[in-house]
Amino acid sequence: MERIVISGGKPLYGEVTVSGAKNAAVAIIPGVVLCDEPCRIENIPNISDVSLIANILRDMGAMVRRVDKNTLDIDPRPINTYEATEEGVRKMRASYYLLGALLGRFHKAKVALPGGCNFGVRPIDQHLKGFQLMGAKNELINGAIIDLDASASFHGARIYFDTVSVGSTINVMLAAVKAEGQTIIENAAKEPHIVDLANFLNSMGANIRGAGTDVIKIRGVEYLHGVTYSIIPDQIEAGTYMAAAAATRGKITVRNITPKHLESISSKLREMGCEIDEYDEAVIVDATKRPLNRVNIKTMPHPGFPTDCQPQFVALLTTVKGTSIVNESVWDNRYQYVSELVRMGANISVEGRLAIIEGGTLTAAPVKATDLRAGAAMLIAGLVAEGTTSISNISYIERGYSDVVTKFQALGADIKKIYIPDPDAVATTA
Ligand code: EPZ
């Protein structure tokens, strides 16, 4: 069992460099399946979700070579199956991007239902609606595998999404790149990683217009050529370090970022009383100048405040005097971690989609990461709380944060990863 142990109570100071965006990487890597030549993907984050998706491609026959910590060479030409049903596929949400990518390449796809962080029901009806309109019949096999078949006719379509969905937008974009004719996605999601995926696909010769707006038009092409492509910086990782600096009342420089992607986060921190200085590829967060104010937050699809920074900001708001109200409007059930913060002395009550936070003092405690961003909230709370906080279930954190312990150490945090032998394993060998 591995844990992260933090002796909190020290403000963060210094510089941190943000890695490539997880949610772009886990869409772009399956996107390579559509390419007719090898590709090199740079600025890949060093996280377990990337290793998982790379292994899934390998299992399907792709040649995947890690050139260095942040670069992958992928030759998708040897892939000769439209099936991805191994156990690994169920371990991550983004493996469902193989539905769109395999459908685009083979006009058929058979993919295990995805896993990922548990925020209650995570339907994929909009993905399937898009594929159906493009000619694919779909069947759910044994409640566990989605079988898509567009071999009779695979074509562009006009698709209006009933809800703004990142995954559905990406999946239909992937499928449409090589479909005959034009696909129009209406009510599309606008997240930076959707624009990044479109830029990647266009650099290979795809014809996608409008990514980053709510109407995306894709005209199918026959051939995609190999490219070298560098993934955008991780907006959520940046937001996490910014929240941590504010929570510890420190001052940090966050490098390798795109300030435009951070507007909702920067403006919320400004509203709280932090000083935010933006540069071309860096931002300075200074929370040392004045006491911070309570604020309200409502999560929204981009360009609204990102749901993936909600837990980190709840952790921050537990340190700010007064009552703050957070409204989680994207996911039904993204407050499982609140009980862990309460173990650290936080005063938070949850009513449906609202979290009502009375700021106060946090005290160290043993806590667990209940999902990826929940784990980030535990890190922030641990950095603030006097005493030693120990966090378990850290594999969730490692799914999405590159080198998180060394990055916080470089900011002056007293944090380390420790290994605790499993008591059951000892008993068996004894
Ligand atoms: C992506 O998940 C991200 N994951 C999530 O980040 C993020 O929280 C989410 O987008 C919202 O920004 C990846 O990019 C791998 P959605 P996704 O489809 O695509 C409903 C993280 O921490 N919906 O935009 O699964 C759904 O229930 C992860 O990095 C339908 O109703 O999210 C939700 O309420 C966690 N039908 C809303 O739309 C559908 O067919 C948004 O979901 C699809 C979605």
Q: Which of 22, 118, 146, 163 to mutate to test the pocket of ligand 1 (most atoms within 8 A of CB)?
A: 163
In contact, 134 and 183? CB cutoff 8 Å? yes
The sign of the dihedral angle between the CA atoms of 219, 224, 229, 233 is positive
Domain presence at residue 274: yes
Domain presence at residue 430: no
Atom of ligand 1 at shortest distance to CA of 124?
40
Q: Kindly report the average pLDDT of the chain as a whole number.
A: 95
* Residue corresponding to tokens 């510890």: 248
Annotated active-site positions, please? 117
Q: Which domain-ending residue is among 230, 252, 277?
A: 230
Domain presence at residue 214: yes
Query: What band does 36 get if pLDDT is binned at 50, 70 and 90?
Result: very high
Shared domain for 386 and 242, answered yes or no, is yes
> Identity (one letter) of the amino acid at 300?
M
- Residue nearest to ligand 1 atom 30, measured at CA: 123
Domain interval for residue 287: 2-19+233-424
Whether 220 shows a pLDDT value over 60: the answer reads yes
Shared domain for 83 and 11, answered yes or no, is no
**Residue 303: cis peptide before it, omega within 30 degrees of 0:** yes
Domain presence at residue 272: yes
Domain presence at residue 384: yes
User: 26 C-alpha vs ligand 1 centroid, how far in Å?
Assistant: 13
The CATH number of residue 356's host domain is 3.65.10.10
Across residues 3-11, what is the average pLDDT? 98
Whether 429 shows a pLDDT value over 50: the answer reads no
User: 227 C-alpha vs ligand 1 centroid, how far in Å?
Assistant: 28
Q: Which domain-ending residue is among 230, 253, 276?
A: 230
Q: Is 322 in the pocket of ligand 1 (CB under 6 A)?
A: no
In contact, 66 and 58? CB cutoff 8 Å? no
Shared domain for 9 and 108, answered yes or no, is no
- Could you give the number of structural domains in the chain? 2
Shared domain for 213 and 343, answered yes or no, is no
Atom of ligand 1 at shortest distance to CA of 163?
38
368 phi and psi angles, rounded to 5 deg: -125, 155
The span from the CA of 75 to the CA of 209, in Å, is: 26
Domain presence at residue 353: yes
Shared domain for 186 and 238, answered yes or no, is no
Q: Is 330 in the pocket of ligand 1 (CB under 6 A)?
A: yes
Q: Is 208 in the pocket of ligand 1 (CB under 6 A)?
A: no
Closest CA to 227 of 193, 198, 206, 204: 204
The sign of the dihedral angle between the CA atoms of 29, 30, 31, 34 is positive
pLDDT digits (tens, 9 = 90+) for 367-410: 999 999 999 999 999 999 999 999 999 999 999 999 999 999 99
DSSP string, 342-398: HHTT-EEEEETTEEEEE----B--EEE-SSHHHHHHHHHHHHHSBEEEEEE-THHHH
Shared domain for 55 and 202, answered yes or no, is yes
In contact, 311 and 236? CB cutoff 8 Å? no
Domain presence at residue 429: no
Shared domain for 237 and 354, answered yes or no, is yes
- pTM for the structure as a whole: 0.96
pLDDT digits (tens, 9 = 90+) for 258-284: 999 999 999 999 999 999 999 999 999
Q: Is 238 in the pocket of ligand 1 (CB under 6 A)?
A: no
Q: Is 196 in the pocket of ligand 1 (CB under 6 A)?
A: no
The span from the CA of 76 to the CA of 56, in Å, is: 12
Shared domain for 375 and 360, answered yes or no, is yes
Whether 426 shows a pLDDT value over 70: the answer reads no
